Amino acid sequence: MEPTILQRSDHVVSRKNISRNALTVLYRLNEKGYKAYLAGGCVRDLMLGFSPKDFDVVTDATPQEVKRCFRNCRLIGRRFRLAHVMFRDEIIEVATFRALVSSEPEEDEVEEDPEDQEPGLEEMETAAEHEELDEAEPEPAPATEDVVVNEETGVVLRDNEYGTPEEDAFRRDFTINSLFYDIEDFSIIDYSGGLSDLKARIVRCIGDPEQRYQEDPVRMIRAVRFASTLDLDIERETYAGIQSQCGQMAHASHARMYEEILKFMYSGAMEKAFSLWMETGLFDVMFPGFSDWYREQATDSEKQWLTKALQQLDKWKTHKVKASQELAYTLLLAPWIRSVWREKEAAGDLSPRDACMEAVFEVQKCLVDRILIPKRIAFRMFDLLFHQKRFEDRRSAQRISRFLHRPFFRDALVLFKFDALALEKPQPDLIAAWSQDLKKAPPPRERSGRPHTHGRRPRRRRRR
């Protein structure tokens, strides 16, 4: 079909709002004779007047051809082969146009093979690990044999069939994510009606919603995230498909879901998203155990505490404050964990510390089939909750100093302040004293998912 094309004079996208690194990639591919577009969420955000968090490129060059164009490029992915062009402060992801059979997640949603997941890893740093391809690996042929679908669930597990720009547009999840920006003439290319949907401010699924949700269940919560963060409405059939297919979320990768929930927490629209989860039925599938407790056991004060926690997460986004992963998950789950903690203490056979520890890991176990919370994060959540009583203990300077040097102190203090606010039990003198002591605490340590290599890239082991 012929696409709708907006010439430069008819749209608001300007190169001054596009990453210089992304422009470098686009121009280089164009100079080498390849077609190269900006694609997906970055074009959507630019059209809406927002600043994209990252920039993705699509091209008719294969991953190996992209690699030959850039010395600072590596190929990643087992489920989907992608090229990462690495700059000092940014990674530009470059994907080859995909054929219509594709159903991979958009933008940064790349997922590992199901057989590569290792639930229970204590030091899991990300939800989707990719294996760097050997430089000598031959370029894969674009054959239909590369498409693997789970016959029971309908979820596409592997797909490396390359296609045309039109096919690539129609295999994307929503029309507003299928727009292309052509660096050759600075035009916007629309194959699926994304421009009209952006103007109408609606999220519309491309193709049959029920089938697309079966292929990739995470599309359902992506629809909710786009609607809540961009202040859009979900189109009627797209919304009805979520309600009828929400059970498919049980087939989504639980490791990937951990990261997806974090995106909601950092979106600035968590309160609105939570309401949509409840309305569509997604909440019951995504949070087994939590949803039952919330509907049947939670008191009004516990529900109010959670509402204020969601609002607090949104306020942090407004003020450009990013909570740690453990603090964000603690705010979401604290009322439930504390309820389980009280029950275990009331049984009388566990110490308060052991009761808290068991409560945290019981909650983790209830969620593990849907959301894989790493044990490292679970232990830190225990630290934040159990050590709240330490703030009432200022008996000696030595005890205060030891507490200040605990790695979780800053997050624990934030939780203590929030608790006082949410429970309407202000403790201004105590909070002021700890806030003053905070100046003596060591600076927060930055976590890194990679070992320190003193600026050098680790040597790669040769394959035998």
CB crowding 178-213: b at 16 or more within 10 Å, else e:
bbbbbbeeebbbbbbebbebbeeebbbbbeebbebb
Distance (Å, rounded) from C-alpha 264 to C-alpha 398?
Answer: 40
**Helical spans, DSSP H, in 1-157:** 20-31, 41-48, 63-69
Reply yes or no on whether 429 is catalytic: no
Query: In angstroms, how far is CA 372 from the centroid of its own chain?
Result: 13
Question: Of the candidates 201, 187, 162, 196, which has an alpha carbon nearest to the alpha carbon of residue 38?
Answer: 187
Distance (Å, rounded) from C-alpha 98 to C-alpha 102?
Answer: 6
Exactly one of 159, 173, 190, 383 is catalytic; which is it?
173
CA atoms lying within 13 Å on the CB side of residue 235: 19
Exactly one of 54, 113, 419, 437 is catalytic; which is it?
54
CB of 38 within 8 A of CB of 74?
no
Exactly one of 56, 60, 284, 314 is catalytic; which is it?
56
Reply yes or no on whether 56 is catalytic: yes
Reply yes or no on whether 349 is catalytic: no
Q: Fill in the amino acid letter for 334.
A: A
Number of neighbouring beta carbons within 10 Å of residue 367: 23
- Catalytic residue annotation: 54, 56, 173
